[in-house]
Structure formats: structure tokens, C-alpha cells
Amino acid sequence: MTQPIAILGMGQLGWMLSRAGERIGASVQLLDPDAPEQPGPNTLISVESEHWPDNPGTRQLRAHPGWQNPNALDILPNRIQQKTVLDELQLPTAPWCRPKDDDQAKDLHQTLGPDFLLKRARGGYDGRGQLRVKASEATPLPDWKTEAIAESAIGFDTEVSLVGARGRDGRCVFYPLTENYHRQGVLTVSLSQPTRFSALQRTAETMLTKLMDHLDYVGLMAMECFLVGDKLLINEIAPRVHNSGHWTQEGATICQFELHLRALLGWPMPQPETRGTTAMVNLLGMEHQQEWLAVTGARLYWYNKAHRPGRKMGHINLQHPEPQRIADWLRELPLPADYDESRAWALERLSFEG
């Protein structure tokens, strides 16, 4: 009998995992993080997010024999511990330090340069829990500085991410590096273009493999990087399926959600093949619009969540063998004016291909 999988979390990532599981005959149950049901002893327990509330139910889950990836989930959710392990493995990151009680902004500027970010050690996502500190602005440091890391702002050329999975036998497979555009710290568009970052692919895979091996990790992991010249600096690691991997739903023979489940179950994990170029657009803070569906290539995923400004409400994948078709669809797609820059960013890259 197939071993059941339980996912801690009931958001869009959990939903897409259970959807992928249904298709391939994997049984996926979603657990409410506020009051999780305790799954049977044979169940494998994974997470949709590395952050969950601490309550008796989640504490019990962590003690369950089926709890997956205890190492990764103990270390990575805390930015201090995550950066420390990356340093130990000599994996390059943005220069960082731990602010001390009596540190003022000027002390940290001495170590990190004129522009740095304070990032809360725990709980931040979508750019929340972060403060940019510029020498020119004389920003006072908040009282949470000792529960944070300080990190130099990087003048990157672009941002890329590597999404891959490690199986129970330690074998890893990866998707091609994805290029990501963020607006105010939140991902708006991802692009997967077949050969754009081929020269960096091996290096990136070696980096993430080293970390997954060290943590004895099983399942899907994402590595977000800044690209500076031809150097990759790790921004952060997510021990789960990742927004920058959503394009694989249309752009690869095995999508990231399915790959995560296959890895957990010890099922076959051949190298996914990709289908040319794919673009993914996040629908941030928008109400549902049937006009999106007038664009013939728009594959809409709507999360059915309560509307909140800026919230990830859904995403649209655009996939076609000819990048110019994707560009046409992207131009047609009704999006608010604050997407103009994100759209122009993607169109510019697609035009180089066409």
C-alpha cells in the first residue's frame, strides 16, 4: 500500500501538493497548523512552509516517527542558524553579522557597508520583517535587532533560484535556474529560459547538493541567489516547494509538487525535462478576473483565499515553444499598472530569445 503523506499547512502550496498527489495516486492529507490532526504512525509528514505556529498539536507532530527532515526544519527557519550552516559549508552568501545589544547603525555600516538590511531571524516572508538601513538616512535600529541578522545590500545583476529534489537514495535532480523579478521584496514574475543560465547550472547544483547532503534532506528544496557578475551568492534557502518553481506545472514533465511527493515516497525520480520557455506571473492582492481567461495561453491557478492587499491570490503560467507567443500573451494579460515594470522586465528577456 502507498504510504500516506500529511502536509502541515493548508495554503496554496498544500493545495497544489495534494492536487499533484491525486493525479499520480499518492494520498495527501493537509493538516491545519492551528489544530493539526495527528496522522497514523505509517504517515510521512512534510510541510508547506518552514514557519508554523508552536502549539501542542505541532509539537506532537515533530515527535511523530514520520516527521520528515528534522535537521533542515530545525536549522533553516532561523536565519541566524541558516547563515551559520551556509558559512560552515563555505557556501557563499551576502556578508552578514549578528547585531549586538549596543550596536548602532554606524557600527554595522563599518562592517557591512553603507547599505544593509536587518532581517528578523524568524517568521519573515514576502519581504516582511525586514528593514533597509542606509548610512545616508540615519535610521535608528529597532529593538528586535538582536533577534535578527544584518546583511549587506547586494547590487545584484539579477536574481535566480535553483529548485531541486533529493531522493531517499541521496540522488538529486534539478530544474534549470529560474530568473526572478521582485517588486518591493515580493516575487512578481519568474522566467525559465532553457539556456540562459546554463553556464551557472553546474555550480548552482553543486552548492545545493552540498547543503541537502549535509542535512540528509529528502524532498524539494529551493535556493534563492543573487547573481553578481558570474558569481552566485545565496540569499536564502527554502526547505519546501517554492513560488519560483510554479512554472514547472506547465514547463516541465514533472512539476515541483509531484517531484517533492516522489522524493518523499521513494518513487522514481527521473530528471524532469523542460518544455522551452515558461513564464509565471504572481497575482498579488488582486480580485479574481475572468478576463485573464480570455488570453488563450493563460493557465490560471486561483487559490480561493480571502482578499488582502498584496496577498498572493493566484498565479498564471504561460508556456509555448515560441517565446514570442509568450510575450504576446503577457502583453495581452490584464494586470494593474503596478505590474508595468515587472512585465517590461519579462518582455525584455523574452525579446532576446525570439
Rounded to 5 degrees, what are φ and ψ at 308? -145, 145
Q: Name which of 125 and 144 has its Cβ closer to ligand ATP.
A: 125
Residues that bind Mg ion (CB under 5 A): 224, 236
Rounded least distance, CB 94 to ligand ATP, Å:
4
Residues that bind ligand ATP (CB under 6 A): 94, 117, 119, 124-128, 151, 153-154, 159, 182, 185, 224, 235-236
Rounded least distance, CB 222 to Mg ion, Å:
9
Partner whose footprint covers residue 305, from Mg ion, ligand ATP, none (CB < 5 to 8 Å by kind): none
Partner whose footprint covers residue 126, from Mg ion, ligand ATP, none (CB < 5 to 8 Å by kind): ligand ATP
Partner whose footprint covers residue 191, from Mg ion, ligand ATP, none (CB < 5 to 8 Å by kind): none
Partner whose footprint covers residue 64, from ligand ATP, Mg ion, none (CB < 5 to 8 Å by kind): none
| Cell numbers linked to 20 | 499533484
**CA separation for the pair 193, 242 (Å, rounded):** 18
Partner whose footprint covers residue 151, from ligand ATP, Mg ion, none (CB < 5 to 8 Å by kind): ligand ATP
**CA separation for the pair 304, 232 (Å, rounded):** 36
Contact between 43 and 80 (Cβ < 8 Å): no
Strands 96-97, 186-192: pairing kind = unpaired
Q: Name which of 225 and 264 has its Cβ closer to ligand ATP.
A: 225
Three-state DSSP at 124 gives: coil
Q: Which residue has the cell 554606524?
A: 106
Partner whose footprint covers residue 125, from Mg ion, ligand ATP, none (CB < 5 to 8 Å by kind): ligand ATP
Rounded least distance, CB 24 to ligand ATP, Å:
28
Q: Name which of 125 and 144 has its Cβ closer to Mg ion.
A: 125
Partner whose footprint covers residue 75, from Mg ion, ligand ATP, none (CB < 5 to 8 Å by kind): none
Contact between 5 and 21 (Cβ < 8 Å): yes
Picking from 144, 169, 158, the residue whose alpha carbon sits closest to that of residue 266 is: 169
Q: Name which of 156 and 302 has its Cβ closer to ligand ATP.
A: 156
**CA separation for the pair 282, 280 (Å, rounded):** 7
Q: Name which of 225 and 350 has its Cβ closer to Mg ion.
A: 225
Rounded least distance, CB 120 to ligand ATP, Å:
9
Residue partners of 19: CB distance under 8 A and separation at least 6: 257
Rounded least distance, CB 235 to Mg ion, Å:
6
Rounded to 5 degrees, what are φ and ψ at 4? -70, 150
Q: Name which of 119 and 145 has its Cβ closer to Mg ion.
A: 119
Q: Name which of 222 and 263 has its Cβ closer to ligand ATP.
A: 222
Q: Name which of 185 and 270 has its Cβ closer to ligand ATP.
A: 185
**CA separation for the pair 54, 57 (Å, rounded):** 8
Rounded least distance, CB 160 to Mg ion, Å:
12
Vertex 191, ends 187 and 197: CA angle to 5°? 115
Rounded to 5 degrees, what are φ and ψ at 200? -105, -10
Residue partners of 206: CB distance under 8 A and separation at least 6: none
Rounded least distance, CB 253 to ligand ATP, Å:
26
